[in-house]
Amino acid sequence: MLFFSLLVLASTALAYQCTDFTVPVTVTAPTVIPPFPAFKTHYDAVGLLSALTARNAPNAPSPPPIIENLSATFDISLRYCEPDHRRHASAKGVQVLSHGLGFDKSYWDFGGQGSEYNYISSAIAAGFATLSYDRLGNGGSSIVDTYTVQQGPVQLAVLTSITKRLRDGNLHSNVPRPAGGKVFHVGHSYGSLLTHGLLATAPKLSDGAVLTGYNLQILGIEQFETSTTFHLAKENQPARFGGRSTGSLTWADELANQYNFLAWPYFDPAVLAKAEARKWPFSLGELITYAAVPNNASAYAGSVLLISGDVDRIYCAGDCTGTLESAAKTFVGTKRVETYLQPRTGHGLNLHFNATAGYKVVQDFLGRVEG
């Protein structure tokens, strides 16, 4: 069902308007059939976690994956924001924003209008429009099977379809063709993984990309998984997620949230409390298929910025020194590759005191790409 509402947001620095809408998106993508049955209880979930993180897990025998092709249509919730051209005439194109695990699209305007945690405001002030969206299973987008559908390649197919329709000017009646035909991609964490996948599989769809909270090694993935203890979302927050399947997972509480996403004392505890209250589950399917998202982007000829917090837990196990440079070397065909470590920052870059400093690095980079 197609619907939208128009929101007019005023700012003392720069006025802009946003349109919220939902569109049906049809995709075809490979999916992996998990080599184990769906969880019946949280005991099953923790049992699998124990097996995945055991010392011998990398060497344990496993059956070959069963791959099936999925063709389906999903409802995807989006928000398009653009500068008020009466006050800001230089439209530089559209940034497509892909959020990570544990969030929905509100990650990009987390603090609301006028907040230092609002990435969208920084992009608007720099002359860009933005298109943020809820990935499958999050926010206002379709709730799907968390074992066999809410997987990396399917999420990538959604991002690819949205980008194509945006470029063609047929995404929504309130979303014009990008100014100058320029489309940029900004991801966070799993959203960066998907953005990297887009550069690998459809390199001509993006004029420039920013991968935040990301590198190729995922050095802290076991720490992330273990710290969540694979809480079933339906039990952790029954009021919000009581109808979810057992493949919908989360972490226990705000302390686990802090461990994974935030670096003390460089955040406001009120921000952590808000992030915990508004968290979204991740799917078991996303965890077991992150390596199935292609990352050979040697054919991508645009520009790439890799930016992470210096003490990112999930991708760097708490120390990102040297990790971005090794990832940058894989982008062999790009015109420009840059790296930046945001000081005093954990995995959730947008939720720290110095978020605006990181925003400036991103907007300056994309401004140079546009030029």
Give the mean model confidence (pLDDT) for residues 256-271: 98
Above 80 in pLDDT, residue 9? no
What number is the average pLDDT over the span 98-111?
Answer: 96
Residue pair 233/212 in contact (Cβ under 8 Å)? The answer is: no
Q: What is the pLDDT of residue 358?
A: 97
Q: Is the pLDDT of residue 29 over 90?
A: yes
Place of tokens 């009581």: 242
Which pLDDT tens digit goes with each residue over 224-245?
Answer: 999 999 999 999 999 999 999 9
pTM to 2 decimals? 0.94
Backbone angles phi, psi at 363, to 5 degrees: -65, -35
How many beta carbons lie within 10 A of that of residue 310, not counting itself? 17
Rg, Å, the chain Cα set: 19
Domains of the chain: 3-48+64-370 (3.40.50.1820)
Q: DSSP assignment of 250-283, as one string?
A: E-SSHHHHHHHH--TTSS-HHHHHHHHHT---EE
* DSSP string across 29-83: EEEEE-SSPPPSSHHHHHHHHHHHTSTTGGGS--PPPEEEEEEEEEEEEEEEEEE
User: What pLDDT, on a 0 to 100 scale, did the predictor assign at position 61?
Assistant: 73
Average pLDDT of the chain, as a whole number: 92
Among residues 162, 286, 170, 275, the alpha carbon closest in space to that of 221 is found at 286
Q: Is the pLDDT of residue 97 over 90?
A: yes
Number of other CB atoms surrounding residue 288 within 10 Å: 20
If we measure between CA atoms, which residue out of 148, 173, 180, 167 comes closest to residue 33?
Answer: 148
